[in-house]
Amino acid sequence: MTGSKTGKKKKGSQNYENLRKVAEEVIKKSKGDLKETSTKFKGMLEELRIYQVELEIQKEELLKTGLELEEMGNKYESLYEFAPCGYLTLNSKKEILEANNKAATLLGIPKERLVGENLVTFIAPEDQPRLVKYYKQIKRATGISGLKVHNHPPGALHVELETYFECRSKGSFYQTTLIDCSERIITEQRLDKQQRQLKINIKEVHDKNTALQELLSQVETGKTKIQEAVTFNAEKLLIPLVKRLREKENKKSVKTFELLEKNIKQITSQFGLEISGNLVKLSIKEIEICNMVRSGFSSKEIASSFEISLKTVETHRRNIRKKLNIENKEVNLTSYLNSI
């Protein structure tokens, strides 16, 4: 459209010059009498007036377009300068060519001092290698997050970069967007810390639970041993002793011994356990003899209690040692029985 208008302007200018020359010649010949002006001259004059009107219309359109372009430029400048994100244009050396106000705020330096500075110098030393590697690998739009800005030492300001790489006739350029991601980084760090603490707490709970299970197992084992001991002593020691005493007493005491035996059986029935171990191998009488030996009774006292001979007691003692696997060992029977 612009070429068409330019062609019309040149054509109009040439026609105007030709028309002027013809008009001058006609005037000279007619000595200023316009009535003798040729029909050709009148046509050219009319055409010139049309071109004049077109030029005035074009002028108005150009003024209107200029105002629209100016308004669009102001809007663009406002959007660019006061955007919530930082915008940077970098050359191939990562030097800043253009920057908006937000970029200056994020990098911590006045905007007028940004142009010509290398972006790497604004990043904390520990993150500079990441940034250099990032720009080396850019071949299209890409991003990098968590870069710490060097000029904000106490505030721990972190930025996220989104960059678009473009090649022009004048060289390569990077269009980079800076976004403040400090709050997200801090939140991620807190979350990571909480997760580590949670793992520690879970391990502590697991360890305590394991210890509790072991303790409960020990308590259960102890409880079982107590139950076994009570049941064993009641069934193998107390009840036989009560029966023997009942046989020796008069009839008046029989009911009392029967009640005692019944109560002992009720106690053992609450446990309902079967006794295991070496003592189970022994007979009831041998268990009674073991209990008396462990309590310090002599063979003579045991014989008197059971109304048997001393020789029979010695036979019982030998059988007990045999069943307890200490027959040929120099082990005191009383000490052994007290140890189990």
What is the pLDDT, as a whole number, of residue 275?
A: 42
The per-residue DSSP string of 107-146 comes to HTS-GGGTTT-BGGGGB-GGGHHHHHHHHHH-SSSEEEEE
What is the pLDDT, as a whole number, of residue 41?
A: 65
pLDDT in tens, 82-120: 888 999 999 989 999 999 999 998 888 888 889 999 999
Give the number of residues written for the chain: 340
More confident residue, 80 or 41: 80
Measured in degrees and rounded to the nearest 5, phi and psi for residue 230 equal -65, -45
What is the pLDDT, as a whole number, of residue 4?
A: 46
Answer with the one of 229, 253, 274 that is the final residue of a domain. 274
Element housing 50 (H / E)? helix 39-81
In a domain, 339, yes or no: yes
What is the pLDDT, as a whole number, of residue 153?
A: 57
Same domain, 284 and 295: yes
3-state secondary structure of 194: helix
What is the pLDDT, as a whole number, of residue 226?
A: 78
User: What CATH number did the domain enclosing 123 receive?
Assistant: 3.30.450.20
Same domain, 116 and 45: no
Same domain, 259 and 198: yes
Asked whether residue 264 carries a pLDDT value surpassing 50, the answer given is: yes
More confident residue, 242 or 204: 204
Same domain, 55 and 116: no
Same domain, 263 and 308: no
Same domain, 18 and 33: yes
More confident residue, 73 or 325: 325
Same domain, 292 and 337: yes
Q: Name the residue range of residue 306's domain.
A: 277-340
More confident residue, 58 or 118: 118
**For 142-151, what is the mean pLDDT?**
76
Same domain, 108 and 71: no
What is the pLDDT, as a whole number, of residue 95?
A: 92
- Least confident among 62-71, 159-168, 172-181, 308-317: 62-71
Confidence of residue 205 (pLDDT cuts 50, 70, 90): very high
What is the pLDDT, as a whole number, of residue 32?
A: 46
Asked whether residue 1 carries a pLDDT value surpassing 50, the answer given is: no
Give the whole-angstrom CA distance, residue 166 versus residue 102: 23
More confident residue, 288 or 123: 123
Same domain, 260 and 210: yes
Same domain, 173 and 108: yes
Same domain, 138 and 206: no
Confidence of residue 2 (pLDDT cuts 50, 70, 90): very low
pTM of the model: 0.44
Residue of 231, 318, 326 whose CA lies nearest to 280: 231
In a domain, 267, yes or no: yes
Same domain, 114 and 140: yes
In a domain, 186, yes or no: no
What is the pLDDT, as a whole number, of residue 274?
A: 40
In a domain, 81, yes or no: no
Number of domains making up the chain:
4
Which two three-digit tokens encode residue 163?
Answer: 């960059």
Answer with the one of 26, 50, 75 that is the final residue of a domain. 75
In a domain, 139, yes or no: yes
In a domain, 122, yes or no: yes
Going from the C-alpha of 338 to that of each of 41, 313, 331, the distances in angstroms are 151, 19, 12
Give the whole-angstrom CA distance, residue 126 versus residue 146: 11
Answer with the one of 180, 210, 235 that is the final residue of a domain. 180
User: What CATH number did the domain enclosing 328 receive?
Assistant: 1.10.10.10
Give me the residues paired with residue 88 across strands.
99, 176
Contact 317, 299 (CB under 8 A): yes
In a domain, 110, yes or no: yes
In a domain, 54, yes or no: yes
What is the pLDDT, as a whole number, of residue 200?
A: 93
What is the pLDDT, as a whole number, of residue 136?
A: 85
- Least confident among 20-34, 105-119, 166-180, 287-301: 20-34
